Chain A
Amino acid sequence: MAFYSIEEIVSECNKHNKTFAQVIIEGDMHDREVSRENSIEKMKQMWDAMILASTSYEKNDISNSGLVGGDGGKMETYLEEDKPLCGTFVSKVIAQALQMGESNACMKRIVAAPTAGACGVLPAVLIPYFHEYKATEEEIIEALFVAAGIGQVIASRAFIAGAAGGCQAEVGSASAMAAGALVALQGGTPQQISNACGMALKALLGLVCDPVAGLVEVPCVKRNVIGAVNALSVSDMVMAGIVSKIPADQVIDAMREVGEKMDVSLKETGKGGLAKTPTAVEITKKIRENSK
């Protein structure tokens, strides 16, 4: 069964002495009437697709509109030739987030997590973690179940679409999912995973969806970076013993309230925020002329 609250998942873990991932896998087996092997195999396909999307990044690709492309390559070169303030691991996360967002904008194949616009966040933290911290594929797949379980609760209590709740619903949700996945990988308890979800989402509450020319490009690609880096800092805070003062489910409910109150011009309509700046208006005009 799909869960309606993070609290329910945590109490299910504690009651039966199961991990967060186990509880989510069993929920999927129940919902889709599939075996454990089938459920795990399906998640492995998602992971394989993320890896494939990462390796097929092309730093010379530019999106149809010409607005994005190449930044992931620049970040990688900077990391190789210079000394980024963020250090090696975080810089790799930044590069990966940019690359996945750019590949999406360039019509490459990606994994929506939870949406195409926020597809860079989860792979941005998991792929470098997989390589740098020598996690096994099984561990990564379990972490993906943790992420998906968190996303499912957010989708049922609030929303995961920018048009419904702004960017907080897309990159905010992706960041909460990634933070939970990282805490699971770091050996955190179900309660700590819950804290990670709450803290990551709290940090991005209120983020609006204001894409230039209505395209999933500016600022979407770079917002994937903030979602990923936020997940890293939250994961470290949680593992340091810091807790979320507001429980995860209440943060999700607050996200819904904020999203509902958000003006429609700031919910993927291209009519407010960054999309309404003079530069964006100019860019939009040019794109429309070129496409006629």
Chain B
Amino acid sequence: MAGSASEYIQHHLQNLTYGKLPAGYERADGTVLQDATWTLAHTGKEASDMGFWALHIDSLGWAVALGALFLFIFRLAAKRATSDQPGGLQNFVEVMVEFVDQSVKETFHGKNKVIAPLSLTIFCWVFLMNLMDLVPVDFLPQLFHLMGLEYMKVVPTTDVNVTLGMSLSVFALIIYYSLKVKGVGGFVGELTLHPFSSDNLFLKILLVPINFLLEGVSLIAKPISLALRLFGNLYAGELIFILIALLPFWAQWALSVPWAIFHILVITLQAFIFMMLTIVYLSMAHEDSH
């Protein structure tokens, strides 16, 4: 990796982006596009100029690969699942399933077939995506560089799109179950008639905007905080690994090893928090508590 430290860092934080560049766009190498083109971004500027119509191939690719790995392993165990003496793989999978099931049962008391497998998927998937953070920062990007790919960010959860994609899905489920359990009227009432309520009808109507503002903010804050918490933790962790990688190679281990060990905790904890908060939000969506 030639170049200054800031170039190195920026390079490491740039996703491999495939997107649409508008017609007449001057690319990094000086060529001007005749038509709007779908292409790989060659620089960070190109990537950001692509705007919304761009895919982070690395994030998405790693995320899908890791999710598929998780499902492959668990499906393998599920196929061979026996009520007799379980093997090693089944033991491990059962521990995970029971752990998630226990967490769901402690928090969520209704009947819902989706929440438990959803939580299992979130926990295992997020954990695996976080785990990529422990792969030495230059290892995979260098490998892909040799294969001709300029950028490669291997930790999907350091991409805010990935965490937002998941938390917005959870948000959609929150809205769906709120409407399903409480009905449209109940949900609207929950958003507008609390926390301030009055017996006086006029005062009640007067309080509606205030309530809606408060409840709306707290509702919107759920997916945003869910996504940004995971993203922030992993992004910061990744950044520190990159900074450590700037040290001379013989000194790196003194910092990277302790940080990696500490990071094992962060990885697991963040996966757990994402799962737990999903369960909590969904159980709140099921409750007519107000």
Partners in one complex: no
